[in-house]
Structure 1
Amino acid sequence: MSPVRFTTPFTRESTTDDVIAGVDLTGRRAVVTGAASGLGVETSRALAAAGAEVTLAVRNLEAGRRTAAEITAQTGNAAVHVASLELTDQASIDAFTAAWEGPLHILVNNAGIMALPERHLTPEGWELQFATNYLGHFALTLGLHGALAAAGNARIVSVSSSAQLVSPVVFDDIHFENREYNEWLAYGQSKTANVLLAVEATRRWAEDGITANSLMPGGIRTGLQRHQENNPETRSIFDAYPWKTLKQGSSTSVLLAASPLLEGIGGLYFEDNNEAEQTTDPGSQSGVHPHALDPEAAARLWDLGVEMITARRGGIA
């Protein structure tokens, strides 16, 4: 974290339209994962409205095509494309990155799943939240490094959560093989990993003109909370939560992706459109835990991700 907390004129109430007002993204290309629903749709719409060429990286192509058509109708920008991407399938990630041609100026790692009530594993034996929220995005980011470097001034946006306060990355048991599965600890460590990705990507790639930041969007009513809304034990908590609108919740992602205020800024964690303060308060609902910004943990996680991906590919990096 910088010695002086990085702040902007924007607040919790600011919207995507506020943070991108006056910004011209003509000639810039963006990829947004999970762009067929929730935050991904609004993030993509705002970038397209500013003139960017936007690729919606989605699991459901039909939903993606509907979303692209809606964004084009709303913004008048016909350069909104759709591409298939399944973050738990290395072959899908490889196909996406292999098909990409030319520079990439903005990568928004937005897709995610939250607090699955039961432990699920990928065919590789990876815990599903870690595999989806972090490892898939890590592999995608690595695969697009050349395109990001070719842009000369590229940004990576890593969507995290206040759940990073709940758990560090437990390197000795990431996949809950030797401890009881807990959906919030699993979600928390995956979101801590999203922050660490931004820290290490900035350290490694700043010389390539690439910066990365992470963020907590705030609470927005989307399909992400479906497991909690259907649970009687958590339903009352969710009903009382101070929710943001979709435009407010997406604003920090758009700020980090497009605002000239962020020129050359990397390795930070934001909430409500400003850099968050560090906290170790176990009861805090805001701020960022030091374990999510730890440079040693960031480097270790990066190396582990490379090792896991390489093993999945049969030793071919």
Structure 2
Amino acid sequence: MSDLITTPFGAESTAEEVIAGVDLAGKRAIVTGASSGIGTETARALAKAGAEVTLAVRNPEAGAEVAAEIARDTGNQAVHVGELELSDRRSVRGFVAAWEGPLHILVNNAGVMATPERRTAEGWELQFATNHLGHFGLTTGLHDALAAAGGARVVDVSSVGHLTGGILWGDPNFLNHPYDPWAAYSQSKTANVLMAVEIAARWATDGIMANALNPGRITSTGLIKSTAPTAMAVGPRGADEPGVSPKNVAQGAATSVLLAASPLVEGVTGRYFEDCQEAGPVVPGIRRGVAPHAIDKTDAARLWALSEELLATPLPEGR
């Protein structure tokens, strides 16, 4: 891959550094999972650059506190909160229905990791439902708003965990396979990349760009809280992974912010980044790079069709 996109930034760059000098006045952004961790830092950086930012969060009260903090820190009062529970289709549809006007930046940041076996009201495995299907429904539901913006960007926060495995075709919800928290997480993170690949194929004529990324290992975030204790004990590769360096929150948000707003990646779409650079193919034994199964165009189209099929099923009763 000799045409990899490179930037002057790297693993230690912060969100504020990659967006320095960028003026987002007049731009509107949504960041999911923005009440903690790299979601908060992503929203803060976009707001500091002048964007109108909506924090899409499960807990509106916690979101309001973060929004007020960001407004104080940045001087930007156009920081809003919207309630969004990604594992609940009614919540996703309600959020989409409430949105008015164009949308320039959508950062699909929220997620859960290696949870105990849990299911939605539909019986869908929670990580696949939250990390992928919820964001798929949100993004496709906001298509017209993104198209209206002209040059909109979708940013899908994936993980190095996608390297561990792809989509469990035929049984993505672990109905017939023994549940494994890391296999389910890997599947959902692969799905994040595949969605960006397919958006690039489907929506380029609408002026919509989409890219995925690995934010790096950030241990001081709410994502860790969702992880099953047994999963944390064993981990996909244990505490030390070759090629993976710990980051603080400001560094962890840098690649998301780069893809959301930097002119350095204007027009770039359907790619996977880490440490503010486009990632090359995975190297055996090193937990870096992108796996072939995550950027396979046939699988991207197949996952899109599967996702549409699942989201078209009748809503569960009583909710």
CA distance in 1, matches of 2:159, 2:83: 25
1:28-86 C-alpha deviation (Å, 9 max, x unpaired): 00000001011110000000000000000000000000000000000000000001001
Q: RMSD value over aligned CA atoms?
A: 1.9
Partner residue of 2:178 out of 174, 177, 180: 180
Matching residue of 2:168: 170
2:312 match: 310
Matches of 1:4 and 1:12, distance apart in 2: 20
Whether the aligned pair in 2 keeps the contact of 1:228 and 1:234 (CA below 8 Å) is: no
Matches within 5 A, 1:226-305: 226=225, 230=229, 233-234=233-234, 237-238=238-239, 242-279=245-282, 281=284, 283-305=285-307
- What's the TM-score, normalizing by structure 2? 0.93
Paired residue for 1:127?
Answer: 125
Q: Decide whether the 8 Å contact of 2:4 with 2:278 is kept in 1.
A: yes
Partner Cα separation in structure 2 for residue 272 and residue 126 of structure 1 = 32
8 Å contact from structure 1 (residues 104, 147) kept in 2: yes
How big is the shift at 1:239?
Answer: 8.7
Question: 1:39 and 1:121 mapped to 2: Cα distance?
Answer: 26
Offset of residue 120 of structure 1: 1.1
| TM-score, with structure 1 as normaliser | 0.94
**Alignment match, 1:211:** 209
Amino acid at match of 1:159: V
Shift in Å, 1:165: 0.3
Rounded Cα–Cα distance in structure 1 between residues aligned with 2:228 and 2:88: 28
Q: Please show how residues 26-105 of structure 1 align to structure 2 within 5 Å.
A: 26-105=25-104
Other structure's SS at 1:157 match: strand
Q: Deviations over 1:136-155 (max 9, x none)?
A: 00000010000000001100
Shift of 1:234: 4.6
CA shift for structure 1 position 123? 1.0
Greater mean deviation of Cα atoms: 247-256 or 222-231: 222-231
1:15 counterpart residue number: 14
Conservation of the 8 A alpha-carbon contact between 1:57 and 1:84: yes
DSSP-derived class of the 1:134 partner:
helix
Number of residues paired by the alignment?
311
Q: Following the alignment from structure 1 to structure 2, what is the Cα–Cα distance between the partners of residues 303 and 87?
A: 19
Q: Distance in 2 between matches of 1:154 and 1:68?
A: 23
- Rounded to whole Å, the distance in 1 between the matches of 2:309 and 2:229 is 37
Partner of 1:24: 23
User: In 1, distance between residues paired with 2:109 and 2:314?
Assistant: 23
Return the alpha-carbon distance in structure 1 between the equivalents of residues 229 and 73 of structure 2.
Answer: 33
Q: Is the 8 A contact 1:25 1:52 kept in 2?
A: yes
Residue 149 of structure 2 corresponds to residue 147 of structure 1 = no
In structure 1, stretches of 5+ residues that fail to align are none
> Aligned to 1:78, what secondary structure does the other structure show?
coil
SS state at 1:51 partner: coil
Distance 1:196 1:44 in 2: 24
The answer on whether the counterparts of 1:139 and 1:309 sit within 8 Å (CA) in structure 2 is yes
| 3-state SS of 1:83 partner | strand
Contact 2:112 2:227 in 1 (8 A): no
SS in structure 2 of the partner of residue 171 of structure 1: coil
User: Contact (CA 8 Å) 2:112, 2:226: kept in 1 or not?
Assistant: no
Which consecutive residues of structure 2, in runs of 5 or more, have no partner in the other structure? Answer: none
Deviating beyond 2 angstroms after TM superposition, the runs of 4 or more aligned structure 1 residues are 226-242
Could you tell me how far apart the structure 2 residues matched to 1:69 and 1:128 are? 31
Distance 2:196 2:186 in 1: 16
Deviations 1:178-230 (A, max 9, x none): 21111110000000000000000111001000000000000112121236695
Distance across 2 between alignment mates of 1:233 and 1:17:
34
Letter in 1 for 2:167: V
Whole-angstrom CA distance in 1 between matches of 2:145 and 2:245: 39
SS in 1 for 2:170: helix
Percentage identity across paired residues of the two chains: 58
